[in-house]
Amino acid sequence: MKIRALLLLLLWPWAVSAQGFAGLGTAAEGFAVPERGVELHFPADHGAHPDFRIEWWYLTATLDGADGRDYGLQWTLFRSALKPGEQEGWQSPQIWMGHAAVTTPDAHYDTERLSRGGIGQAGVAASPFRAWIDEWEMSGDPLGAMRLTAAGPDFVYRLDMQAKGPLVLHGDRGYSVKSQAGQASYYYSQPFLHVSGTLDLPEGPVAVTGSAWIDREWSSQPLSDDQTGWDWFSLVLDDNTRVMAFRLRGSEDFTSGTWIAPDGTATPLANGAIRTTPVRRAAENGPEVPVEWHLEIPSRGLDVQVSALYAGAWMDTSFPYWEGPVTVTGSHAGRGYLEMTGYR
């Protein structure tokens, strides 16, 4: 077992579970545990929660290029604690990992960064909000203007973002249940970002506009032992409705989601309210995954096909997963992002 691999095991809940790293998914070992009914406070909760084992700041964006092509991009900062709390210097127990990617209709560029806390190489400040690792940065007011930058061997992007709606709390006021056994996380989003900026790609720079979605989540025991991965959808429909839906695959599938009205009003979708059915599978740049889905939320009259913009949007990071932009057709039209983990 390599140190980095071990770090990644800590950072990737499904990997933990899939690797049979028993105990980590369920036992909290001195870490804080999400509790139902705890009210989230902003801007404080935009910052890091070092007493929880894992946490992430996760941004995905669907973009229209000035060249007429569709693009998608991802910016993620993960935090994982070897033990609760923070400490100055190299011996900090906080490990940070950044993932960034750009997806085009026929290519996918990604890169990964690792750092530890305590020395200032990576971290998150709540107010004014700033999340960074190396030269990558997401900063500004999640309810106002923000900036986003990242770079890899094959791309650089710089985006300006403007919030057009409120923060959305998932589950029970931000307490999001992840299994029937009761595993849960704190989970909120900012799905109403308008973006504009530039992608520097190997074929040259391209100006883009579009919409972005930030997910914030932290927990110490996110998955139950038998859960091996998930399929997660964040969709922006043409009528300005947002849909967050996921299926956790385990001995028994567990679904959950949020129906977000254009004004930000959120309605939780209970286990079983969402039906996801793979339609077409592909194995491009990685193992076979469903790249076209049939997604139904009967209670909302949603019955759509969700298709990947580029089937090969595999994150070629230490632990590979699929993350890429999708288009929505059927009862509703729109665009969004799909994340698939735990496929081998």
Partner 1 sequence: MIRAATLAFWSHWRRHPVQLLTLVLGIALATGLWSAVQAINAEARASYARAAAQLGADKFDRLSRSDGKPMSVAEYLTLRRAGWQVAAVLQGTLRVDGASVTLTGIDLVAAPDLPAIAEASADSRIAPLDALTAPGLLFANADLARALGDRPDLPPVIETALVPPRRILTDIGTAEAVLNSTGQISYLLVLPDQPMGRPPLTEIAPDLTQEAARGTQDITRLTDSFHLNLTAFGLLSFVVGLFIVHGTVGLSFEQRRPLIRTLRALGLPMRLLMRLILTELLLLALLGGVIGLALGYLVAAALLPDVAATLRGLYGAPAEGSVSLRPIWLVSGLGMAVAGTLLASAQTLWRLSRLPILAAPGKHRWSARPRAMRNQLLIGLAIVATGIVTFAVADGLIAGFALMAGCLLGAALALPPALAGLLVLGKQMARGPLAEWIVADMRTQLPGLSLALMALLLALAANIGVGTMVASFRLTFDGWLDQRLTSTYYVTARDDAQGTELANWLAPRSDAVLPIRSAEITTGTYPLFVYGIVDHDSYRRHWPLIAADADVWDRVMTGQAALINEQMARRDGLWPGSTVSLAPGWEMVVAGVYSDYGNPTGQAIVALDRLLAHFPDVPNTRFGVHLPADRAEQQAEALRAAFDLPPGAVIMQQGLKAQSRAIFEKTFLVTGALNVLTLGVAGFAILTSLLTLWSQRLPQLAPVWALGLTRSGLAWLELLRAVTLAAMTALLAVPLGLVLAWLLLSVINVAAFGWQLPMYLFPFDWVKLFALALLTAAIAAALPMLRLRRLPPAQLLKVFANEN
Among positions 20, 35, 37, 90, the unique one binding partner 1 when judged by CB under 8 A: 90
Residue (113 or 249) nearer to partner 1, CB: 113
Question: Residue type at 102?
Answer: V
Among positions 156, 181, 261, 282, the unique one binding partner 1 when judged by CB under 8 A: 156
Q: Contact at 8 Å (CB) between 194 and 162? A: yes
Q: What would the DSSP string read from start to end of 189-231? A: EEEEEEEEEEEEETTEEEEEEEEEEEEEEEES--S-TT--EEE
Cβ-proximal residues to 181 (8 Å cutoff; 6+ apart), any chain = 26, 224
Asked if 154 interacts with partner 1 (CB under 8 A), we say yes
Residue (113 or 216) nearer to partner 1, CB: 113
How far apart (Å, rounded) are the C-alpha atoms in residues 313 and 60? 13
The tokens for 179 are 């299994």
How far apart (Å, rounded) are the C-alpha atoms in residues 138 and 301? 36
Identify the residue whose tokens are 């039906």. Answer: 275
Asked if 316 interacts with partner 1 (CB under 8 A), we say no
User: Which one of the spans 43-51, 145-153, 255-263, 327-335 is the region binding partner 1 (CB under 8 A)?
Assistant: 145-153
> What is the smallest separation between the CB atom of 94 and partner 1, expressed in angstroms?
10
The tokens for 321 are 């997963």
Q: Which of residues 107-126 bind partner 1 (CB under 8 A)?
A: 111, 114-116, 119-121
> What is the smallest separation between the CB atom of 178 and partner 1, expressed in angstroms?
24
How far apart (Å, rounded) are the C-alpha atoms in residues 4 and 96? 12
User: Which one of the spans 45-53, 153-161, 260-268, 305-313 is the region binding partner 1 (CB under 8 A)?
Assistant: 153-161
Among positions 43, 65, 93, 320, the unique one binding partner 1 when judged by CB under 8 A: 93
Asked if 208 interacts with partner 1 (CB under 8 A), we say no
DSSP structure class, residue 38: P
Cβ-proximal residues to 141 (8 Å cutoff; 6+ apart), any chain = 128, 129, 163
> What is the smallest separation between the CB atom of 66 and partner 1, expressed in angstroms?
20
How many residues of this chain interact with partner 1, rule: CB under 8 A?
Answer: 33
Among positions 22, 33, 82, 333, the unique one binding partner 1 when judged by CB under 8 A: 82
Asked if 328 interacts with partner 1 (CB under 8 A), we say no
Angle at the Cα of 178 (from 19 to 332), degrees rounded to 5? 110
Residue (190 or 220) nearer to partner 1, CB: 220
> What is the smallest separation between the CB atom of 332 and partner 1, expressed in angstroms?
37
Cβ-proximal residues to 207 (8 Å cutoff; 6+ apart), any chain = 65, 66, 196, 197, 198
Among positions 4, 280, 281, 344, the unique one binding partner 1 when judged by CB under 8 A: 4
Contact residues toward partner 1 (CB under 8 A) are: 1-4, 6-7, 10, 82-83, 87, 89-93, 95, 111, 114-116, 119-121, 132, 134-135, 151-156, 200
